[in-house]
Amino acid sequence: MLIIRKEQLQHLAIYEKISFKMRLKTHLKEFFPLQISLANDGALDQFIESGIEEAQSLGFDTEATVQSYTDHLILLGSHFCQNPLYTEISAPLFDSEIEDLIQRHDILYDRAWEYLDRTRGPDAGNLLRASAKLLKVLPRRSETTSTNPSDLVETLKAIYPEKYAAHTRDTLVSFCIESLRRAQLDKFEQPAAQALYVILAFLAGIGFYHDPLIMNTVSGQTAVLSEQADASEQSRFLTESAELYLDRLFEAIRLST
């Protein structure tokens, strides 16, 4: 009789986990080449690790469900399940009446793509125009930018009208309030920095500041930001980081066409 020792089972589990991560990395590079091209391999490994942990914390632990969840982290942004904009889109993931977990992800997929097609437009043209608008106004942003949620909603409308139109005003206000809360948790104190944080969360996902695929693009900036005691320096570095990220995004798009 073949006897498998406990240590062998542990090694097997480790091997299977590593093997799955390698397959997931290959999958992401194949289906999301533009997003993946902005980050190095180390950042992609961090993204995969955090994506697996987040998926498992929600009860998704099969290869198919973890892969699907990770896909949606790229499509909808990091922490998309906590984003007030996506409450209805992500609702199937938590619908206990849908017993089949794969079916939950299939419904999520359909809802996500219907939303993205409507808001991003053909070839993501709407998103690119919104990014270009933000890049153009970044150097002129006032240090006294309002953080009133109603004012921020109007700013989001001006920058990305198609995405604005996909939500009720109440939902947009809730999004602004949650994004401001996160900005404060991440120690951004000045109104200008908090307002910019909200705009970036609207474009790149509410968890953008903790997304390795995004923050790796501005290599070293996060560490600098966390060390800054001066609020005006934090605001300046966030602005510079946003400019750098958007510049690299447009360069990656140019090289891909």
Residue that finishes a domain, picked among 120, 139, 156: 120
Final residue in a domain of this structure, among 60, 95, 120: 120
93 found inside a domain: yes
pLDDT for the residue 1: 41
Count: domains in the chain? 2
- Given 103, 120, 137, the domain boundary residue is 120
Domain-embedded: residue 9:
no
Note whether 146 and 202 are same-domain residues: yes
> Which of the given ranges, 2-6, 123-127, 203-207, has the highest pLDDT on average?
203-207
The reported pLDDT for the residue numbered 138 is 83
Domain coverage including residue 41: 33-120
Give 222's contacts (C-beta < 8 A, 6+ positions apart). 209, 215, 241
Q: Is 207 within a domain?
A: yes
How much is the pLDDT for 227?
56
Question: Are 89 and 133 members of one domain?
Answer: no
Structural domain contains residue 27: no
Same domain, 94 and 42: yes
* 228 and 139 both lie in a single domain: yes
Does residue 109 share a domain with residue 147?
A: no
In a domain, 15, yes or no: no
Query: Around 40, how many Cα atoms within 13 Å sit in the side-chain half-sphere?
Result: 5
Banded pLDDT at 171 (limits 50, 70, 90) = very high
Residues 132 and 250 in one domain: yes
Question: Are residues 104 and 141 located together in one domain of the fold?
Answer: no
Q: Which residue has the higher pLDDT, 2 or 69?
A: 69
Alpha carbons 120 and 133: distance in angstroms, whole number: 15
Whether residues 210 and 184 fall in one domain:
yes
Q: Are residues 146 and 246 in the same domain?
A: yes
CA 91/CA 111 separation, integer angstroms: 10
Please return the burial class of 46, using the count of CB atoms within 10 Å of its CB with bins 0-12, 13-18 and 19+: middle
Specify the pLDDT at position 9.
35
The pLDDT of residue 248 is above 70:
yes
Identify whether residues 137 and 106 lie together within a single domain.
Answer: no
Can you say whether the dihedral through the CA atoms of 25, 120, 128, 82 is positive or negative? Answer: negative
DSSP notation for the chain: -----HHHHHHHHHHHHHHHHHHHHHHHHHH-HHHHHTS-HHHHHHHHHHHHHHHHHTT--SHHHHHHHHHHHHHH-TTGGG-GGGHHHHGGGG-TT---HHHHHHHHHHHHHHHHHHHH-GGGHHHHHHHHHHHHHGGG--TT----HHHHHHHHHHH-HHHHTTS-HHHHHHHHHHHHHHHHHTT--SHHHHHHHHHHHHHH-TTGGG-HHHHGGGTTHHHHHHH---HHHHHHHHHHHHHHHHHHHHHHHHHH-
Answer whether residue 19 is part of any domain.
no
Can you give the pTM of this predicted structure?
0.87
pLDDT in tens, 215-231: 876 655 555 555 555 77
Residues 146 and 55 in one domain: no
What residues contact residue 246 under an 8 Å CB cut-off, 6+ apart?
A: 131, 134, 135, 138
Q: What is the Cα–Cα distance from 199 to 55, expressed in whole angstroms?
A: 26
Do 146 and 109 fall within a single domain?
A: no
* Mean pLDDT, all residues of the chain: 86
In a domain, 13, yes or no: no
Per-residue confidence at 13, pLDDT binned at 50, 70, 90?
low
Whether residue 1 lies inside any domain: the answer is: no
